Structure 1
């Protein structure tokens, strides 16, 4: 299955794309010659990982009949100091909110996402260490 996207330069450091009918603008910060019209490209790598695994985990937990009040996924990326700057490792924190959440099922859902379903995680793990943490807030 082949997928593609395109991005159009809109002047200065700004770029625009449309993904499934949703407009997305990328830009550099003012300190780097941009106008801060949108997020920087690299941070979207962290967002892609959070979104991919988040959708998996929510879907898996629904099938397990685990009711979560809220879920926040934080992805921390450690970037290299030298150019080309890239994430040399990532840490994913799953913050579940709810009462009497079964930790074994939360762990199973996270593991299934990370090891079987999330293509973003699978790709990143081929290049860098990706670690995981699960937190439960009642």
Structure 2
């Protein structure tokens, strides 16, 4: 298990490496998603694998969490890890961290029943931290972590998206 000294040491080492060579902190990541059994997605990213699916009521197999769960989980876990990291760096003792992420959505857009966007309408998160440190220090740490959270930033601002389509025909050629 990572303790606060290990977290702080890694953070400072990585910060120094990126400060000395900014290109060290810049890269491109790739995640591959492949459909099997109708709606079940096999997700591969490096050595990590996940499964995503929709529920049976939606025509899926209910083989794993749905995309909305992963979105909320990505935000909540990024925030929670950021709080743990900043607490370690700032040497603020923390006994417990929890982040609750709640989303509002309206499925009508997904089914073409409205012109409204099909995604989340709102996101809210609640941070629960147990610590003997003064509240003002904890708030400062939370604010610093939020300001540096890559996933929180991804949700806050538009990101350019490009689409490339590759269609491979499976039709038999006439002989």
TM-score class normalised by the smaller sequence: 0.7 to 0.9
> Does residue 40 in structure 1 map to residue 71 in structure 2?
no
* Post-superposition offset of 1:20: 3.4
TM-score of the superposition, structure 2-length normalised? 0.66
Equivalent pair of 1:61/1:105 in contact (CA under 8 Å) = no
More helix by share: 2
Q: What is residue 65 of structure 1 aligned with on the other side?
A: 91
Q: What is residue 25 of structure 1 aligned with on the other side?
A: 51
Report the structure number with the largest CA radius of gyration.
Answer: 2
Q: What is residue 96 of structure 1 aligned with on the other side?
A: 129
Larger RCO, structures 1/2 (Cα 8 Å, 6+ apart): 1
* Post-superposition CA distance 1:94-133 (Å, at most 9, x none): 11123x3321121112111222x11111121126xxxxxx
* Post-superposition CA distance 1:1-43 (Å, at most 9, x none): 3222111111121010123322201111010111211000122
Aligned length: 125
| Structure 1: segments with no counterpart, 5+ residues | 128-138
Equivalent pair of 1:26/1:41 in contact (CA under 8 Å) = yes
| Structure 2: segments with no counterpart, 5+ residues | 1-26, 111-117, 159-175
Q: What is residue 173 of structure 2 aligned with on the other side?
A: none
More strand by share: 1
TM-score of the superposition, structure 1-length normalised? 0.82
Structure 1 consecutive aligned stretches of length 4 or more whose deviation exceeds 3 Å = none
